[in-house]
C-alpha cells in the first residue's frame, strides 16, 4: 500500500472549532504504516553503513556467523 493510499484511509479528529487534533487509524492500517516506517529506517541504516565503508553482509550470513558463535537464531 502506498503512502497516498494509507493517508486516504486515515480519519482525522477535529475539535469544535475545526482544528485537527488527532488521527485515527484502524489496527491493520497501523501495522502497515509501522512496517513501512521500519523499512525506511532499515534502508537509511544500510545507506549510512555503506557511506562509512563498513562491511554489510546479508541476514543469512549474519545468522550463520551467530550460529557458529553458539547463538540460537530462529528461522
Per-residue pLDDT at 19 exceeds 70? yes
Prediction pTM value: 0.52
**Residue 17 pLDDT:** 97
Q: What average pLDDT does range 46-69 have in this prediction?
A: 86
Per-residue pLDDT at 64 exceeds 80? yes
pLDDT greater at residue 43 or residue 54 = 43
Separation between Cα atoms, residue 75 and residue 17, nearest integer Å: 52
Separation between Cα atoms, residue 40 and residue 17, nearest integer Å: 36
Amino acid at each position: 500500500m502506498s503512502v497516498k493510499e494509507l493517508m486516504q484511509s486515515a480519519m482525522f479528529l477535529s475539535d469544535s472549532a475545526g482544528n485537527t487534533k488527532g488521527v485515527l487509524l484502524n489496527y491493520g492500517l497501523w501495522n502497515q504504516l509501522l512496517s513501512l516506517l521500519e523499512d525506511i529506517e532499515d534502508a537509511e541504516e544500510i545507506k549510512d553503513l555503506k557511506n562509512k565503508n563498513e562491511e554489510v553482509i546479508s541476514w543469512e550470513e549474519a545468522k550463520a556467523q551467530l550460529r557458529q558463535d553458539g547463538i540460537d537464531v530462529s528461522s
